[in-house]
Amino acid sequence: MKNRHLVCPLAAATALALAGCGLLPGAAAESRTVNVWLMRDSVSEDFLTRFTEAYEAEHPGIELEFTIQEWTGIGKKVTEAIGGGGGPDVIEVGNTQVAQYADTDKLYDLTLESVRDLGSEDWLPGLAEPGRIGGTQYGIPWYAANRVVIYHKDLFKQAGVTEPPATRAQWLDDTEKLNRNGSQGIYLAGQDWYTLAGFIWDEGGDLAEDKGGDWIGALDSPAALRGMDFYKDLQSLGSGPKNADEQTPPQAEVFAQGDVAQIIATPSAVAAITKANPALKDKLGFFPIPGKKAGQPCAVFTGGSDLIVPENAPERDRAIDVVKALAGEKWQAELARAMNYVPNKTSLASVVAGQEATAVMAVGAARGRATPNSPQWADVEASNPIKPYMTAVLQGEDPKEAAAAASEEITRTLAE
């Protein structure tokens, strides 16, 4: 990126390092620099340039310096940065990562600022809730993405399915109809646990629950078992592997072969689908994952990013102003249009009305959720007992026994 305000990763420490990144000399002595860490590919060069120029014009004496970080290894890098003494001032983090950073007691409490100026009552729950720890808002929602159903319009038409299903029951019926017409009604891998989480939440269950400060695995609750039962019914209507996730093989490539009617994925999968089979470019449609009731889509896992401010931020007050600008309505609308993201407030969904896939995501995002808000949840995902639990049920093992065993492992991991 050629923006003069973009620096090489970790190159902001000295003037010599800055020169090594090809930057121009610093501004006048009275100017102040706010250092912002953003993740690779979160924003385009054009968006970053427009935001920087507009912000600096409105805030004389402030310069923005952006450092682009890679997702690989970012946890250790952020933990070290917030534990040190030199910044950065603002950091983009994954929404489900906030809890582990807040657990260090090194994040600034943004509760007052978020409630007063940013309309927090309208934030997407899947971004706001993981940013809130013990009633304190440490992460300010920035942008979101979530799963939808991507479908092959021609196969739907050939099977006589004239409109997307409105309920889960109708979804099963339509998928069976697609199968009878000769296509594969749906491709759903057996270990797509993010999709399972949505069905569990839709039933009123959860992956784990906070019981007075102790996190307990909850896959064996009646609600969670109902969610797994629906997953089993849906998965049986396709030929997805029972012992692998959606990346083994990549489901976008399977869909691109042309005989699969539906997959559950984020719209970003379209790029891989059309690259593998350009003929599908104008044959793809989207609808929210159906819920139990008409007019209420299924709960979905919300991925995305929050913005945090470390306690040690050298320019903390100015950092808060930058967060307010990035998370405010003007630049939320700009970001959503530029990057096909869901904006951070449900009331802003209309800004992506002309972008079919993003508009469908926004419908689901209104009922979005995130993984359990425990600092140790990343350890659960590392070993991930949910995946073999799903395979066990799909292969005919007793659901209650398999769920109880997986829940016990989740409980042990969250207690460590």
Share of the chain above pLDDT 70, in %: 92
153 in the same domain as 189: yes
Within a domain: residue 262?
yes
Greater pLDDT, 89 or 6: 89
Whether residue 393 is predicted with pLDDT greater than 50 in this model: the reply is yes
Within a domain: residue 1?
no
Mean pLDDT, rounded, for 114-130: 87
342 in the same domain as 395: no
pLDDT tens by residue, 91-117 = 999 999 999 999 999 999 999 877 667
CA-to-CA dists, residue 99 to 103, 271, 346, angstroms: 6, 32, 23
- The total of other beta-carbon atoms located within 10 Å of residue 350's CB is 11
351 in the same domain as 239: no
Any idea what the CATH number is for the domain that residue 115 is in?
A: 3.40.190.10
Q: And the tokens for 367?
A: 């009922």
Greater pLDDT, 15 or 281: 281
Within a domain: residue 260?
yes
Mean pLDDT, rounded, for 201-209: 98
- Sorting pLDDT into bands at 50, 70 and 90, what band is 400? very high
- Sorting pLDDT into bands at 50, 70 and 90, what band is 416? confident
229 in the same domain as 137: no
State the Cα angle at 33 between 92 and 52, rounded to 5°: 65
Mean pLDDT, rounded, for 257-264: 98
Check: CB of residue 306 under 8 Å from CB of residue 95. Answer: yes
Q: Which of 294, 236, 234, 244 is nearest to 264 (CA)?
A: 234
Question: What pLDDT, on the 0 to 100 scale, is given for residue 229?
Answer: 98
65 in the same domain as 52: yes
Sign of the CA dihedral 44, 49, 39, 298? negative
User: What is the span of the domain harbouring residue 52?
Assistant: 6-146+302-369
312 in the same domain as 285: no
Question: What pLDDT, on the 0 to 100 scale, is given for residue 6?
Answer: 54
Within a domain: residue 279?
yes
Q: Which of 66, 42, 138 is nearest to 97 (CA)?
A: 138
Question: What pLDDT, on the 0 to 100 scale, is given for residue 86?
Answer: 81
Question: What pLDDT, on the 0 to 100 scale, is given for residue 115?
Answer: 61
Number of domains, the chain: 2
Mean pLDDT, rounded, for 361-375: 97
152 in the same domain as 255: yes
Within a domain: residue 264?
yes
Q: Which residue has the tokens 């923006």?
A: 3
pLDDT tens by residue, 19-57 = 333 333 444 447 899 999 999 999 999 999 999 999 999
100 in the same domain as 44: yes
230 in the same domain as 339: no
- Sorting pLDDT into bands at 50, 70 and 90, what band is 5? low
Within a domain: residue 75?
yes
